[in-house]
Amino acid sequence: MRLIARAVMALALCCGIDGAMAQQKTPAPAAAPAQPPLPVTLEQALYLIRSTLLTLNDANRTGNYTVLRDLAAPDFQARNTAADLGLNFLDLRRRNFDLYGAALLAPQFSDAPALDQQGMLRLAGYIPTRPQQIRFDLTFQTVAGQWRLFAIGIATPEAASAQPQAQVTPVKPGAPAQKKAP
């Protein structure tokens, strides 16, 4: 009997140890695949969107696009004069379209902030203003460690509650333009 008791205890100890070892060896449940880190923080993205739209708003209000141009990346500056920008945003200026909604409302992203193959940062989405939204498609280039405007696309479509996301084509550095509301 003593022998059986020792065998049972040995078996229990053996199973207990093996059970503990098996628990330690069992891999932890696989974590969800990590999303690639954003190229900028949400705060940085909001700053870039708001500062660009508010600078454009000031340019539209004054008719002076030199600050918008001078704050942009060198390639943008080389391809756009202040007069070119004035012509491209003439419709917004004539309609007295107020872009200050960008300061008050949180932008909604149509795509997550991302870097393209050239390392340019693209921020696209809309500001949910009414009766018209402010749709933006902005591209930034890093110059001396700072993100500077490289391309800009702005549209002001009528806001609709269940409207599908429309693409806004960015302005290429050589051909600034503005999409007009339908």
pLDDT in tens, 38-61: 789 999 999 999 999 999 999 999
**For residue 99, what pLDDT is reported?**
95
**For residue 171, what pLDDT is reported?**
52
Mean pLDDT score, 58-79: 97
Encoded amino acid at 106, one letter: A
**For residue 160, what pLDDT is reported?**
76
> What is the per-residue burial (b if ≥16 Cβ within 10 Å, else e) of 119-158?
ebbbbbbbbebeebbbbbbbbbbeeeeebbbbbbbbbbbe
pTM exceeds 0.85 for this model: no
Instruction: Return the minimum-mean-pLDDT range out of 16-20, 40-44, 78-82, 175-179.
Output: 16-20
pLDDT tier for residue 159 given thresholds of 50, 70 and 90: confident
**For residue 166, what pLDDT is reported?**
46
Q: Maximum Cα–Cα distance for the chain, whole Å? A: 103
